[in-house]
Amino acid sequence: MRIDVVSIFPSYFDGLTLSLLGKARESGLLDLRVRDLRDWTSDRHRTVDDTPYGGGAGMVMKPEPWALALDELAGRPDSTDAARPTIIFPSPAGEVFTQKTARDLATREHLVFGCGRYEGIDERVFEYAATLGEVRLISLGDYVLNGGEVATMAMIEAIGRLIPGVVGNPESLVEESHEDGLLEYPSYTKPSSWRERPVPDVLLSGNHAAIAAWRREQQLERTRARRPDLLPDEEASAD
Ligand code: ADE
């Protein structure tokens, strides 16, 4: 998969050289390129923002550097290229990012992330981007960050680990929170008793069916207590 990121703070993404995603980049499973939006400015101050029409607090990102960046990274308008990219603008005003979104985006060949700052990006950039690829405005959640960088990093990590081969043991992907719509069951390791807290007996029993049933019940119990909004209707009312 190829991922291009455009930001005025490219060094935010230095952490994506580490761990599993760093290895995926080294092995070529993930071709991740981070670019500075200011590379597409031409004035002495490398200006990327200006005052909002209609007034209001803060500054708005100018359309021109974004258009040039998108032209270079996402192709030309009305391209006949079948593999048009998916262009993602992180925004608190977007659809909420979930594991389902991550699974969907992990199937794409080419993602372009445009990280806005200040009060946002001139609205016409989204319209222009839609001539180059599929545009998605995506929110990390119902709170406000200072810009799209942290949201982009979170999304790249969630998407990147779903690329086949990135996570060594694919079974570990299946058993995680949200993969089956429920929160993950609790995990324990040695010692079997620690500070007077024993590991639940069933996990030491060797009875795989009993362990599976216990884990499922734990998933339901936790989800009911912490995230009842995730439960299917027939589980929501159970005691
Ligand atoms: N930019 C600012 N806040 C954000 C959020 N919650 N999600 C995605 N991008 C953002």
Separation of CA 146 and ligand 1 centre (Å): 7
Q: Which of 219, 141, 208, 222 is nearest to 180 (CA)?
A: 219
pLDDT value of position 168: 84
- The answer to whether the CB of 133 falls within 8 A of the CB of 82 is no
pLDDT value of position 106: 97
What residues line ligand 1, using a CB cutoff of 6 Å?
Answer: 90-92, 139-141, 143-145, 147-148, 151
pLDDT value of position 200: 98
Average pLDDT, consecutive stretches of 10 residues, N- to C-terminus, the chain (239 residues): 98 94 95 98 98 95 98 76 88 97 97 93 98 97 96 97 90 81 96 98 98 97 96 72
Amino acid of residue 108: R
Q: Which one of 143, 145, 146, 153 would you pick to mutate in the ligand 1 pocket, going by the greatest count of ligand atoms within 8 A of its CB?
A: 145
pLDDT value of position 153: 98
Separation of CA 92 and ligand 1 centre (Å): 4
178, HSE (Cβ side, Cα atoms, 13 Å): 8
Separation of CA 188 and ligand 1 centre (Å): 35
pLDDT value of position 237: 65
pLDDT value of position 78: 55
Query: Phi and psi (nearest 5°) for 129?
Result: -60, -30
As to burial, measured by CB atoms within 10 angstroms (0-12 exposed, 13-18 middle, 19+ buried), residue 155 is buried
pLDDT value of position 20: 92
- Decide: helix, strand or coil at residue 63: helix
Is residue 122 a known part of a binding site?
Answer: no
Amino acid of residue 144: V
* CA angle in degrees (0–180, nearest 5) for 133-129-62: 160
Separation of CA 10 and ligand 1 centre (Å): 17
